[in-house]
Amino acid sequence: MSVFDCGIYVIKCLPTGRHYVGQSLRVGRRLRGHVKRLEARTHANAYLQSAWNKYGQENFKFSKVLVCAPDNLTLYERIVADSLYDCGLFNVNGFADSSNRSQMSYLVKSR
């Protein structure tokens, strides 16, 4: 694993402007996993899956938006998600955290 594989990624639905924000130690591998599950219609996020089914793969953009150390993944995932909150998020279960896997950031909760 390269340090450059670790970071934050965004999946954007171009017609709606909604985003799915995630983190991974291996971003490229994680994004390929999302595509595989979306194509198989088995993605765990029903909202993202529904948009994929409606608009098709050609209307989604997959991007690594930030490279960071593993210890900073959760912090930066929250910062990116907070910055995109007003555009709309597909994330429904909060964000990963080593102590609480469904914890939302304070900024998002307060809106």
Helix/strand/coil for 70: helix
- 51-102 pLDDT, tens digit each: 999 999 999 999 999 999 999 999 999 999 999 999 999 997 766 553 433 3
Mean pLDDT of the chain: 86
Between 5 and 41, where is the model more confident?
A: 41
Asked if 34 and 57 touch (Cβ cutoff 8 Å), the reply is no
**In the prediction, which pLDDT does 97 show?**
55
Q: With residue 41 as reference, give the H or E element that holds it.
A: none
Helix/strand/coil for 50: helix
Instruction: Indicate whether this model's pTM tops 0.75.
Output: yes
AA letter at 101: R
Residues of the chain with pLDDT > 90, as a percent, come to 77
Say how far apart CA 97 and CA 41 lie, in whole Å: 27
